[in-house]
Amino acid sequence: MRQPRVFVTRLVPEAGLQLLRERCVVDVWPGELPPPRAELLAGTREADGLLALLTDPIDAALLDACPHLRVVSNMAVGYDNIDVAAATARGVLVGNTPDVLDETTADAAFALLLAAARRIPEALAYVQADRWQTWGPLLLLGRDVHHATLGIVGLGRIGQALAARARGFAMRIVYADPTRKPAVEARLGIEHMSFTELLHASDFISLHAPLTDATRGLFGATAFAQMQPTAILVNTARGPLVQTDALVAALRDGVIGGAALDVTDPEPLRADHPLLALPNCLVVPHIASASQQTRARMAVIAVRNILAGLRGASLPAGLNPAAQGTGRTATPSDYTLDESSQ
Ligand code: GLV
């Protein structure tokens, strides 16, 4: 009997890799960029498990081309890169890495909000350009964050963690979410609103919804026209929630006040993109969960998902428990996994 084979699509924190290497034959894609499609297929073709990133499209064609594959674990909380229904139909288990990144991502969202409100990137550029001559009564005036209204779109775990931070700034906090959450409202002192009401009411709007058919393009010209002309949009969720061309126009024409984006559409954004020519737009390269501690925790959970899936057990963070013991995972494996693995 052989050891299970796992393909890892990029170098991930050692805390996770070590766990995996103790029990499996591990092949790590060595590139700094995601494996191109052909390399992704080649690496996964003989694999029993796949540790993927949000930059790897995992679709029905890939699942069919990799007949041994029993488990796909995304080292991310978002999983719009994976066709979960196709995996379920084939009995392939899918997992993600929720919870461990909530606080770190909320920290980043609040950092972006503060930076955009107080024009920190513009101020840094001003000093670096040697333009600082004196204290100026009208120099680089921003917007107050304290006592302003924060609108949270999508009140999941990260949205709630952001609300907890905003309370410390005495903000009024409102949220829009298809599911009303009265217990959370009471705990955090926040108000539910319709999406349209939130657009009108908010000084800052922060996005924390997953990318689905219902949320794709949620922020376009119509939404921007309903926002306050000074409002700042923060996106740490997924770029395609926002229609990029409409955002460029809204920022350029003063329809809204500013944007602070951790995620964009497309991603990556090239330096000559019109968004980057706008002084009221701050862009960082999809780093909201990028703390050393959180990325290590994400890697460990991603690996625990793989190890559980290879054993045919339910994943610690599984997205399709219905797939367990069906299709591909209903047939006995031809590898042995060290029993002490968990
Ligand atoms: C990052 O964007 C994630 O989904 O974890």
| 301-326: pLDDT as tens digits | 999 999 999 999 999 999 999 999 99
Minimum-distance ligand 1 atom for the alpha carbon of 286: 2
List the one residue out of 116, 122, 125, 127 whose CA is nearest residue 140: 122
List the one residue out of 147, 141, 132 whose CA is nearest residue 280: 141
Q: What is the pLDDT of residues 63-111, one digit of tens each?
A: 999 999 999 999 999 999 999 999 999 999 999 999 999 999 999 999 9
Q: Which CATH number fits domain 5-100+292-330: 3.40.630.10, 3.30.420.40, 3.40.50.720, 3.40.50.300?
A: 3.40.50.720
List the one residue out of 129, 23, 19, 53 whose CA is nearest residue 290: 53
Q: Is the pLDDT of residue 342 over 70?
A: no
Residue nearest atom 1 of ligand 1, based on CA coordinates: 76
Reading the block at residue 295, the tokens are: 């990325």
pLDDT at position 341 is 47
Q: How far is CA 238 from the centre of its chain?
A: 6
Contacts of 65 (CB under 8 A, 6+ apart): 41, 44, 45
Contacts of 127 (CB under 8 A, 6+ apart): none
Q: 102-283: which CATH topology?
A: Rossmann fold (3.40.50)
Residue 226's Cβ-count burial label (10 Å; 0-12, 13-18, 19+) is middle
Reading the block at residue 336, the tokens are: 């042995």
Cβ(149)–Cβ(174) under 8 Å? yes
Q: Where are the domains of the chain?
A: 5-100+292-330, 102-283
Mutate to test the pocket of ligand 1, among 287, 289, 298, 301 (most ligand atoms within 8 A of CB): 289
pLDDT at position 338 is 81
* Cα gap 192→177, rounded to integer Å: 8
Give CA torsion, residues 123, 127, 128, 133, to 10 deg: 150
Please state, for a pLDDT cut of 90, what percent of the chain lies above it: 98
Reading the block at residue 77, the tokens are: 């909380």
Rounded to the nearest integer, the mean pLDDT of the chain is 97
pLDDT at position 193 is 98
Q: Is the pLDDT of residue 35 over 80?
A: yes
Residue nearest atom 3 of ligand 1, based on CA coordinates: 76
* Cα gap 27→5, rounded to integer Å: 8
DSSP-based helix, strand, coil % in the chain, nearest 5: 35, 15, 45
* Cα gap 41→206, rounded to integer Å: 36
Q: Order the strands of the 5-8 sheet from edge to edge.
A: 25-28, 5-8, 49-52, 71-74, 93-95
Cβ(40)–Cβ(320) under 8 Å? no
- Pocket residues for ligand 1 (CB within 6 Å)? 54, 76-78, 101, 289
Ligand 1 center from residue 202 Cα (angstroms): 25
pTM of the full predicted structure? Answer: 0.96
Q: Is the pLDDT of residue 1 over 90?
A: no
Reported as type and span, the H/E element at residue 28 is strand 25-28
Average pLDDT (156-162) is 98
Reading the block at residue 339, the tokens are: 């029993």
Q: What is the pLDDT of residues 260-282, one digit of tens each?
A: 999 999 999 999 999 999 999 99
pLDDT at position 339 is 65
pLDDT at position 340 is 64
Give the residue numbers annotated as catalytic, written as ranges: 238, 267, 286
Which ranges of the chain would DSSP assign to H, the alpha helix?
A: 14-21, 37-44, 60-65, 84-89, 102-117, 120-128, 157-167, 182-188, 195-201, 221-226, 244-252, 292-311
Asked whether this chain's domains 5-100+292-330 and 102-283 adopt the same fold, the reply is yes
Lowest-confidence segment of 228-237, 283-292, 323-332 by average pLDDT? 323-332
Ligand 1 center from residue 76 Cα (angstroms): 4
List the one residue out of 82, 89, 77 whose CA is nearest residue 40: 82
Ligand 1 center from residue 209 Cα (angstroms): 11
